[in-house]
């Protein structure tokens, strides 16, 4: 599957070992059975999550579970010279991807969804979240609240 060019630039910037002409590496987290998408992390973003997990108490159930869900259910991969990645059958099957993919950027990560699943689940979740606000609500006002808090 072809990775959009602007996503490839983010992957390159987030891979400390990347140099011009070398394919950028990144981490695909596929997670538990409830996750219906693949989350792709730059190397820097994955290292940041790893550091946060490492700061948790050693031996705690929370740390062990995060290690299993993040590290144990992930795949280190790279973009090839044509701007594509090959997703193993296991990952394609997990999200029921058999054709087109839907990409959504989330900063230094991006998600890969089956388009129908995204529309059915994420758009419905967004609509349900918006229901708590008035019709003239601008979600960007949440950024102002964050600065004030």
- Identify the burial level of 113 via C-beta atoms within 10 angstroms of its C-beta, where 0-12 means exposed, 13-18 middle and 19 or more buried: buried
**146: confidence class by pLDDT, cuts 50, 70, 90:** low
The pLDDT value given to residue 122: 86
Q: Are 49 and 107 in contact (CB under 8 A)?
A: no
Summarised one tens digit per residue, pLDDT across range 93-135 is 999 999 899 999 988 899 999 999 999 988 888 999 999 999 9
The pLDDT value given to residue 29: 96
Long-range contacts of 45-52 (CB under 8 A, 24+ apart): 45/14, 45/107, 45/108, 45/109, 46/74
Tallying the residues shown for the chain, one arrives at 149
3 state SS of 25: strand
Mean pLDDT of the chain: 92
Q: How far apart are CA 66 and CA 51, in angstroms?
A: 12
The pLDDT value given to residue 147: 64
CATH topology for the 5-116 domain:
Chemotaxis protein chec (3.40.1550)
111 Cβ partners below 8 Å, 6+ apart?
37, 38, 39, 40, 103, 104
**pTM of the predicted model as reported, rounded to 2 decimal places:** 0.86
Q: Are 44 and 16 in contact (CB under 8 A)?
A: yes
Query: Would you say the C-alpha torsion 80, 112, 50, 8 has a positive or negative sign?
Result: positive
């Amino acid at each position: 599957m072809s990775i959009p060019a602007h996503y490839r630039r983010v992957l390159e910037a987030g891979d400390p070992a990347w140099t011009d002409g070398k394919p950028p590496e990144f981490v695909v987290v596929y997670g538990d059975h409830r996750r219906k998408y693949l989350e792709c992390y730059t190397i820097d973003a994955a290292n940041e999550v790893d550091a946060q997990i490492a700061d948790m108490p050693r031996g705690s159930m929370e740390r062990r579970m995060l290690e299993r869900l993040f590290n144990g259910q992930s795949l280190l991969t790279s973009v090839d010279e044509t701007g594509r990645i090959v997703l193993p059958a296991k990952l394609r099957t997990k999200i029921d991807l058999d054709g087109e993919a839907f990409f959504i950027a989330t900063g230094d990560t991006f998600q890969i969804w089956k388009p129908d699943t995204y529309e059915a689940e994420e758009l419905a979740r967004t609509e349900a979240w918006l229901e708590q606000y008035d019709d003239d609500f601008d979600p960007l006002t949440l950024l102002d609240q964050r600065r004030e808090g």
